[in-house]
Amino acid sequence: MRARVAVLAAALLYGFLLTPLAQAQAPPVLAAARPEAVGLSGARLGQLSAALKSDIEKGVIPGATLLVARHGKIAWFESMGVRDPGNRAPMSKDAIFRIYSMSKPITSVAVLMLVEEGKIALADPVSKYIPQLGGLKVGVEKPGANGPTLELEPARREITVQDLLRHTSGLTYGFFGPGLVKKAYVDAKLWEDYPSNAEFVDRLAKLPLLYQPGTTWDYSHSTDVLGRLVEVVSGRTFGEFLTARIFTPLGMPDTAFYVGDAAKQGRIAEPFPNDRSIGVGAELNDPRVVQKWESGGGGLVSTTMDYARFLQMLLNGGSLNGKRLLSPKIVAYMTADHLGGGAVPGPLYLPGAGFGFGLGFAVRKDAGVSPFPGSVAEYNWGGAAGTYFWVDPKEDLFVVYMMQSPKQRVAVRALLKNMIYGAVEKAAR
All structural domains of the chain with their residue ranges: 35-109+236-421, 118-218
What was the pLDDT predicted at 19? 38
What was the pLDDT predicted at 22? 38
What was the pLDDT predicted at 29? 64
Which 3 state secondary structure label does DSSP give 410? coil
Angle, CA 330 vertex, CA 70 and CA 233 arms, to 5°? 120
In sequence order, what are the residues at sequence separation of 6 or more whose Cβ sits closer than 8 angstroms to the Cβ of residue 153? 137, 138, 140
What was the pLDDT predicted at 369? 96
CB of 132 closer than 8 Å to CB of 202: yes
Mean local confidence (pLDDT), 61-70: 98
What was the pLDDT predicted at 143? 87
pLDDT > 80? residue 328: yes
What was the pLDDT predicted at 253? 97
What was the pLDDT predicted at 145? 80
Q: Is 57 exposed, middle or buried (0-12, 13-18, 19+ CB in 10 A)?
A: exposed
Q: Which of the listed CATH numbers 3.20.20.370, 3.40.1390.10, 2.60.40.730, 3.40.710.10 matches domain 35-109+236-421?
A: 3.40.710.10
Mean local confidence (pLDDT), 141-153: 88
| Alpha helices per DSSP H over 27-132 | 42-57, 103-116
27: pLDDT confidence band, cut at 50, 70 and 90?
very low
Closest C-alpha to 387, from 176, 109, 96: 96
What was the pLDDT predicted at 25? 44
User: What pLDDT, in 10s, does the model give residues 341-351?
Assistant: 789 999 999 99
Task: Give the Cα separation of 406 and 95 in Å (integer).
Answer: 17
User: What pLDDT, in 10s, does the model give residues 306-316?
Assistant: 999 999 999 99
User: What pLDDT, in 10s, does the model give residues 360-377?
Assistant: 999 999 999 999 999 999
